[in-house]
């Protein structure tokens, strides 16, 4: 039985979806890694995308890591004075 004409297209689309998902996962991990290692980057995220920074804080608090938000606010308010 010869393959249907849509099967190659479906395979290509599925591969594209998988690649897009992998890029998304690695991109989110890279963003988390940068926020986890750099307080200056978190300050930039606070100014540009505060909702993303809030998700970072919440995920750390959910994982049992507390105090990052408070330390950031202390340092940032000391820099403004």
Residue 1's pLDDT is 60
- Domain extents in the chain: 39-80
Band (pLDDT 50/70/90 cuts) for residue 22 is very high
Q: Token pair for residue 40?
A: 């200056």
pLDDT for 7 beyond 90:
no
CB 43 within 8 A of CB 72: yes
- Please report how many Cα atoms fall inside a 13 Å half-sphere around the Cα of residue 74, on the Cβ side: 5
pTM of this structure: 0.77
Condensed to tens digits (0 to 9), the pLDDT of residues 25-66 reads: 999 999 999 999 999 999 999 999 999 999 999 999 999 999
d(CA 16, CA 8): 12
């Amino acid at each position: 039985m010869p393959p249907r004409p849509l099967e190659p297209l479906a395979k290509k689309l599925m591969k594209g979806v998988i690649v897009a998902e992998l890029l998304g996962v690695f991109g989110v991990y890279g963003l988390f890694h940068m926020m986890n290692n750099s307080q200056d980057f978190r300050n930039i995220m606070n100014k540009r995308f505060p909702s993303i920074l809030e998700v970072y804080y919440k995920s750390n608090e959910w994982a049992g890591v507390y105090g990052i938000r408070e330390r950031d606010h202390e340092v940032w308010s000391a820099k403004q004075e």
